[in-house]
Structure 1
Amino acid sequence: VYAFGLPQFMIKDPDIIRNICVKDFDHFVNHIDAFFKHDRLFGKSLFALKDKKWRDMRTIMTPVFTGSKLRGLVQLLSECGEQINLHYAQKYKDQDDKVLKIDIMDISTRFTNDVIASAVFGIKVNSLTDPENEFYLAGNEIIKFPAWRFIMIMMLPSLSKLTKMGFASKHIYDFFIKLVEDTIRIRTERNIIRYDIIHLLLEARKEQIKAIETKRASNENVDVLSKNLLTDEDITAQAFIFFLAGYSNVAILMSFAAYELAVHPDVQVKLQKEIESLIKENGKLDYDVIKKMKYLDMVVSETLRKWPPLPAIDRECNKAYKIETNNDIIEVKPGMIISIPVLGLHYDPKYFPNPNKFDPERFNDENKAKMNPYTYMPFGIGPRICIANRFVILETKLFLINLLLKFDILPTEKTPIPLVLAGGNVLKPKDDFSLGLKLRN
């Protein structure tokens, strides 16, 4: 197949996928080369970096998303969830209908906006009471990225480099760069510690500086370490990619999850019972309690199967490689692209019987043990897997927990059943994500 004039091999055999993405990963380290590599911030993000630069940044970023670090973010995420409950509980009481009609995509987008503002950038916003806040408006501008600009960048990368064409306008990039620079300066001057992503990246930079000083004291060469030292713009780039992904893709995931619960009330009731039971049993809601919610994990996993954030993933060959099939040997030359149809694998009845059915039981302990891991990859697979996948799942779970504790989620006369999808590279409905909320006793 061809995409933007580039030849691509589409691979759907799980064994070959394992070889390319894991076993022989050193032949396929990078994503497709033309993808916004000249963008001011995106080009410096972990997603876009290549080869050694990617490996170095991955090493720095990996500790940011360990369980111990995520544990510290639960409170920040919960506060954003409570804002939603308070706002929509009041809206429910202020109207006469038994069901409050809402656009779940609007709610989830505002939630993810506030989460990213708090958990990544360390600023507190409420996009429900202050819908025109600068942070939210910046995200709105980015997701309205025109198709012609995307095609221009992909087809004419040299022109995009010359014109410095990127995801967003200069004033949006200036906004994020100034935001991070001011945050770093104020925290340094006032010795402020706030356990968010910016703080964790600053801690990583401190460790780099310590390593440089140790080597320098021993009269060792520090050129390589100094060259790889995180800059403020590097930190901004990583924060920006979290914002970019969280603002749209994660909000879409949350909306799909809420939709599936609305049209499968039996699943919703079972999930509400689990949430209430475990919170009552433990007397609180924290990271460890969320980890105990097995059915919640099954619901989110099945949502990710039906509606993966990335319908396909790519790898660029950087060293000559041979793919052995039953009948042939395929030579993959450097620069050629491998495409893996994630959505196609997730809907293959060979791996997921009756794939159109929303069935969380596919992910119970017994069934999960039988599952081929190279047929289920909502966040990618191997070393290039989305590094923030655990954060995304935690964020989605907290969104659902807060919503389900306060409301029943219902379909309305405007809810499309079944969903009709819009075209494009991201799975999303053609029309509004119309659902209803009913306040629980």
Structure 2
Amino acid sequence: MMQGFSYSPFDPAVMADPRPYYRTLRDHHPVYYVDELDTYALSRFDDVWNVLAINDGTFVASEGTLPAAAVLAHRNHGPVADPPLHPLPFHANFDAPLYDDVRRCTAAQFRPKSVTAWQDRIRELANERLDELLPRGSFDLTQEYGGIVAASVVCELVGLPTELAADVLATVNAGSLAEPGSGVEVANARPGYLEYLIPVVQQVRAGEFPGPLPIVENLLAYRLPDGSALTDSEVAVQMLGVFIGGTETVPKIVAHGLWELLRHPDQLAAVRADPAANVPVAREEIIRYCAPAQWFARTVRKRFTIHDTTIQPGQRIITLLASASRDEREFGEPEVFRWDRPIERSLAFGRGQHFCLGYHMARLEIAVLLQEWLRRVPDYQIDADRAHRPPSSFQWGWNHIPVHVLV
């Protein structure tokens, strides 16, 4: 047990490397109270799994799913109501039915059957990147391979030309940077995101967009409970989950996963032996081991008791997904990377009402990016000394992994 232990997701030491803190939390403080934030941290797999499955209004995201330290520092005195309807914030801040209704507007393209139709396009994008990158010999595995492919998919989903993929990727990366002590200030980055999205919404509304764009069309047709329609800006805000989440997570998982395989040559050889069959298996361990999302928050609306601790309305919980993915109670030797580990349950993409909308798309992208890399790159080296994983309260992942390919 760490001497004089204390934990906060915004502690600079935690943001630099949260893993030793998670181990202590799981072993000694499964429900840990962060006094300055009036927030309880849940670190064990079963606790997070069970809490996220509760969908009866006990937990809401009215203060956001990723509130900054300044938001959590404000103490509530009783339940927190849903935000006002206008201007409509991101729909995840609402409870059902509004949250569910708006989510359905954006969900059609992310259902399994719709996602499967993207496989050839994602493979084409991956090979376009490899055609450009491999002759160079050295490049950034996170940003220049997976990053551009993921950003290109997002561009096509939200109606932007893929020529903007590099700009979109840079914008999302900049908006996700965290300051030690405060975390990610999503509100500060939002105007930059909306500069891309609002013109697309305006084109669709005016009938000037070339072709169908369901995510925007459905949001424009939606009516709020008071009967009002969404403004262009409000429609764009509802698209941020796709715009941000689809851009920043997949590249970190793929690049880190390829690094882990390289660290274990026997495992790399095993996966290479049959990429079509083995990459989908390895993908699940790579997601467990490498997913960068650390936690999500909920505000308690109904009194809730866990491990003899009663949490009052207005207080918060943070579900430590990354800690749960390393819980010895769920995974044997969780700090060991094992490509063919049987994984019965996963929390890397959340669970319950707020389960990641892009789950199926992300898993497809990860599989294709891994398969095409292993098919075309016979040998590669990682420049570990130049790899960079910046401090973060949320997306703690390898932003830069320099790679040298040997062909």
With normalisation by structure 1, the TM-score equals: 0.69
Equivalence for 2:349: 379
Equivalence for 2:3: none
SS class of match (2:38):
strand
Deviation at 1:420, TM superposition (A): 8.4
Equivalence for 2:214: 200
Deviation at 1:148, TM superposition (A): 7.7
Equivalence for 1:260: 260
SS class of match (1:173):
helix
Deviations 1:145-195 (A, max 9, x none): 6568757x6xxxxxxxxxxx923274553343124423x257x347x435x
SS class of match (1:249):
helix
- After superposition, the Cα gap between the structure-2 partners of 1:140 and 1:42, relative to the gap in structure 1 and judged at 3 Å, is farther
Select the residue among 37, 40, 56 that pairs with 1:9.
Answer: 40
Calculate percent identity across the aligned residue pairs: 15
SS class of match (1:226):
coil
User: Are the aligned partners of 1:263 and 1:411 in contact in 2 as well (CA < 8 Å)?
Assistant: no
Deviation at 1:83, TM superposition (A): 1.3
Equivalence for 1:415: 384
Inter-partner Cα distance in structure 1 for 2:183 and 2:49: 30
Deviation at 1:137, TM superposition (A): 4.6
Inter-partner Cα distance in structure 2 for 1:122 and 1:340: 34
Inter-partner Cα distance in structure 2 for 1:139 and 1:16: 31
User: Are the aligned partners of 1:8 and 1:337 in contact in 2 as well (CA < 8 Å)?
Assistant: yes
Inter-partner Cα distance in structure 2 for 1:42 and 1:266: 55
Deviation at 1:353, TM superposition (A): 1.8
Equivalence for 1:274: 274
Select the residue among 44, 48, 65 that pairs with 2:89.
Answer: 44
Equivalence for 2:321: 342
Inter-partner Cα distance in structure 2 for 1:334 and 1:343: 26
1:286-305 residue pairs with structure 2 within 5 A? 293=277, 295-305=278-288
Select the residue among 95, 104, 109 that pairs with 1:64.
Answer: 109
Deviation at 1:140, TM superposition (A): 4.8
Residue 204 of structure 1 aligns with an amino acid whose one-letter code is N
Select the residue among 309, 323, 326 that pairs with 2:292.
Answer: 309
Deviation at 1:383, TM superposition (A): 1.5
Deviations 1:216-244 (A, max 9, x none): xxxxxxx84833x5553344223333222
User: Are the aligned partners of 1:30 and 1:51 in contact in 2 as well (CA < 8 Å)?
Assistant: no
Select the residue among 397, 403, 407 that pairs with 1:435.
Answer: 403
With normalisation by structure 2, the TM-score equals: 0.74
- After superposition, the Cα gap between the structure-2 partners of 1:171 and 1:23, relative to the gap in structure 1 and judged at 3 Å, is closer
Inter-partner Cα distance in structure 2 for 1:9 and 1:134: 37
SS class of match (1:10):
strand
Deviation at 1:387, TM superposition (A): 1.4
Deviations 1:315-366 (A, max 9, x none): 221122233x4xx4x3221111122222222223232222221112213xxx
SS class of match (1:411):
strand
SS class of match (2:260):
helix
Deviation at 1:66, TM superposition (A): 0.8
Inter-partner Cα distance in structure 1 for 2:215 and 2:400: 37
Q: Does residue 226 of structure 1 match 2:227?
A: yes
Inter-partner Cα distance in structure 2 for 1:362 and 1:172: 38
Residue 359 of structure 1 aligns with an amino acid whose one-letter code is R
Q: Which stretches in structure 1 are left out of the alignment for 5+ residues?
A: 92-99, 128-132, 154-164, 210-222, 279-292
Q: Does residue 35 of structure 1 match 2:67?
A: yes
Residue 114 of structure 1 aligns with an amino acid whose one-letter code is S
| Greater gyration radius | 1
Residue 437 of structure 1 aligns with an amino acid whose one-letter code is V
Inter-partner Cα distance in structure 1 for 2:201 and 2:129: 26
Deviation at 1:11, TM superposition (A): 2.7
Q: How many residues align?
A: 358
Q: Does residue 397 of structure 1 match 2:376?
A: no
Inter-partner Cα distance in structure 2 for 1:58 and 1:174: 22
Equivalence for 2:302: 319
Equivalence for 1:354: 333
Inter-partner Cα distance in structure 2 for 1:102 and 1:387: 31
Q: Does residue 117 of structure 1 match 2:155?
A: yes
Deviation at 1:114, TM superposition (A): 2.0
User: Are the aligned partners of 2:292 and 2:397 in contact in 1 as well (CA < 8 Å)?
Assistant: no
Select the residue among 189, 193, 206 that pairs with 1:168.
Answer: 189
Equivalence for 2:23: none
Deviation at 1:113, TM superposition (A): 2.1
User: Are the aligned partners of 1:77 and 1:119 in contact in 2 as well (CA < 8 Å)?
Assistant: no
Deviation at 1:377, TM superposition (A): 0.5
- After superposition, the Cα gap between the structure-2 partners of 1:148 and 1:3, relative to the gap in structure 1 and judged at 3 Å, is same
SS class of match (2:298):
strand
Higher share in helix: 1
Residue 388 of structure 1 aligns with an amino acid whose one-letter code is G
User: Are the aligned partners of 1:409 and 1:435 in contact in 2 as well (CA < 8 Å)?
Assistant: no
1:20-169 residue pairs with structure 2 within 5 A? 20-23=51-54, 25-30=56-61, 32-33=63-64, 35=67, 44-91=89-136, 100-107=137-144, 108-125=146-163, 134-144=167-177, 150=183, 166-168=187-189
SS class of match (1:339):
strand
Equivalence for 1:287: none
Residue 287 of structure 2 aligns with an amino acid whose one-letter code is L
Equivalence for 1:283: none
Deviation at 1:24, TM superposition (A): 5.4
- After superposition, the Cα gap between the structure-2 partners of 1:14 and 1:260, relative to the gap in structure 1 and judged at 3 Å, is closer
Inter-partner Cα distance in structure 2 for 1:245 and 1:438: 32
Q: Return 22-31 or 350-359, whichever deviates more.
A: 22-31
What is the RMSD of the two structures over their aligned residues, measured on CA atoms? 3.5
SS class of match (2:318):
strand
Residue 399 of structure 1 aligns with an amino acid whose one-letter code is L
